[in-house]
Amino acid sequence: MIHLLRGLFGGMAMLCGFYALAHLPLAQVTALGFTQPLFTILLAVLILGEPVRWRRWAATAVGFCGVLVMIRPGSGAFDPAMLVALFMAFGIAMAVVLVKRLPLGESHTAMLVYFCIASFLLALVPAILNWRDPTWGEWGLLAGVGVLGMISQACIIRAYRSAEATFVAPFDYAKLLLATLVGYLFFAEVPDAWTWAGAGIIIASTYYIVWRERLKAEPEEREER
C-alpha cells in the first residue's frame, strides 16, 4: 500500500509538473518547486510524528509567506496553474516522506520499479484518451527528456554520496538561475519582480532549515567519532 501511495503521489506530481510547465514561466515553476522541503516538514510531523522546534516552524511559515508573495491570491496576476505547481511540490514531498515508512531493508530498485508501474497506470487512461502519434522530432525530444532525467538522477545520487547533504543542497538553488536563463533564451520569458521576491523568501527559509539541520547533526557526528 505504501508503494502504491508513493507511486500515485509521485505520478500526480509529475503530471502536475508537466501541466504547470505548459502554463507558467519556467522560472516560476522552478521557484514554486522549492516549497517541497516546507511541505516535507509539515508531512513529517503529521505522518511520521517527528518533532519540529519553533525555529523550523518559523522558517516554514516564512517560506509559505514567500509563496503568497509569488502567487498573490485575489490579484489579477493569479493563475490557477500556480496551485498545480504547488501540488507538484506537495506530491514530491509526500513521496519522500512515504519512503521513511517503508521497511529499512527495502531496495532502491523495488522503489523505482513500483514507482514506474504506478506512474504508468496513472497516466495510461489520459494518454489513451488524448493520444496523438509523435513526430520523429518529438520522439527525439521525449528520448532526450528520458536520458537527461536519468543522468540528472545519477549525478544527484553521486553528489549526495560523495559530499555532505548540507554542502550539496544549496547548489539546488542554481536551478532558478538556470531556469530563468533557459526560459529567456528559448521562450522569451522574463520573471517579474514578485516572482524574484517570493523565490528569494522561499530559498532563504529553506536554506535556513538546511543550516539548522547541519548544526543539529554536528554534535551527533562528534559523538559517533
Range of the domain at 189: 2-133+172-224
In-domain check, residue 155: no
In this prediction, residue 206 carries a pLDDT of: 78
For residue 87, pLDDT over 70 is answered with yes
pLDDT of residue 136: 94
- 108: closest CA among 33, 3, 215, 195? 3
User: Is the pLDDT assigned to residue 222 strictly greater than 80?
Assistant: no
User: pLDDT tens across 28-84, in order?
Assistant: 888 888 888 788 888 888 887 777 777 777 877 888 787 777 777 656 667 888 899
Residue 199 forms part of a structural domain: yes
Tell me if 144 is assigned to some domain.
no
Tell which wins on pLDDT, 160 or 62.
Answer: 62
Report the pLDDT value the prediction gives residue 68, as an integer from 0 to 100: 79
- Is pLDDT above 70 for 168? no
Residue 74, pLDDT score: 59
| pLDDT on residue 3 | 84
pLDDT of residue 164: 61
Whether 67 maps to a domain, the answer reads yes
pLDDT of residue 90: 92
Flag whether 24 is in a domain: yes
Mean confidence (pLDDT) of the chain: 80
* Of 214 and 195, more confident: 195
Amino acid at 135: T
Residue 92 is assigned to a structural domain of this protein: yes
Q: Is the pLDDT of residue 4 over 90?
A: no
Spatial separation of the C-alpha atoms in residues 43 and 50, rounded to whole Å: 9
Q: Long-range contacts: 114-121, Cβ < 8 Å, 24+?
A: 114/3, 114/4, 114/6, 114/7, 115/3, 115/6, 115/7, 115/10, 115/11, 116/7, 117/7, 118/3, 118/4, 118/6, 118/7, 118/8, 118/10, 118/11, 119/7, 119/10, 119/11, 119/14
The reported pLDDT for the residue numbered 167 is 62
Pick the residue with more confidence: 9 or 219?
A: 9
Give the chain's domain count.
Answer: 1
What is the average pLDDT across 137-158? 85
pLDDT at 123 over 70: yes
* Domain membership flag for residue 166: no
- Answer whether residue 140 shows pLDDT above 90: yes
- Asked whether residue 142 is domain-assigned, the answer is no
C-alpha cell at 50: 517527528
Residue 1: HSE in the Cβ half-sphere, 13 Å Cα cutoff: 1
Nearest to 172 by CA among 42, 31, 69, 65: 31
pLDDT band at 160 (very low <50, low <70, confident <90, very high): low
Which residues have a Cβ under 8 Å from the Cβ of 81 and sit 6 or more positions away? 19, 20, 23, 24
Instruction: Report yes or no on whether pTM surpasses 0.85.
Output: no
